[in-house]
Amino acid sequence: MKELTKAEEEIMQVLWQLGKAFVKDIIEELPEPKPAYNTVSTIVRILEKKEFVGHKAYGKTHEYFPRIDRDTYRKQFLKSLMGRYFNGSFRQMVSFFAKEENLSLKEVDELMRYLKDDIQPEE
């Protein structure tokens, strides 16, 4: 699975939140300053090519929807992050976040449980 750019992820967050949307609906949900219609439309088409988004046509108008759910993407992203930056080590990754965020033992325990659930290989 390909990773999303920052702009693509911003659009996907809106689609995950709304479930389906026209370009104008996506723009309404984005923070100020609002991007141009053509900019958002281009990013959505790129997301279609990457197979993150599908559409339903109503004449010349398209309603877009996510083809991959947020949890699936998050799981793949975490696995990729762990592999690239922490030598595939779950322990190194948790240790890094614990140090960077100055977490308490309770927070580290919660983080470990959360991450283990998210990156557990499917059987």
Segment 4-55, tens digit of pLDDT: 999 999 999 999 999 999 999 999 999 999 999 999 999 999 999 999 999 9
Average pLDDT along the chain: 88
pLDDT of 78 above 60: yes
- Which residues, including other chains, have CB under 8 Å from residue 106's CB and lie 6 or more apart? none
Helix, coil or strand: residue 64: strand
The pTM is what?
A: 0.75
What is the pLDDT at residue 70?
93
Is the confidence at residue 61, as pLDDT, over 60?
Answer: yes
Asked if residue 72 has pLDDT above 80, the reply is: yes
Q: How confident is the model at residue 95 (pLDDT cuts 50, 70, 90)?
A: confident
Residue 16 sits in a domain whose CATH number is: 1.10.10.10
Residue 1 lies in a domain: no
Please tell me whether residues 57 and 81 are part of one structural domain. no
Helix 6-18 vs helix 37-49: crossing angle, to nearest 10? 90
Grade residue 110 by pLDDT with cuts at 50, 70 and 90: confident
Total number of domains constituting the chain = 2
My answer on whether 24 and 56 are in the same domain is yes
Same domain, 10 and 62: yes
The answer to whether residues 80 and 42 belong to one domain is no
Give, rounded to a whole angstrom, the gap between the first and last alpha carbons of the chain. 19
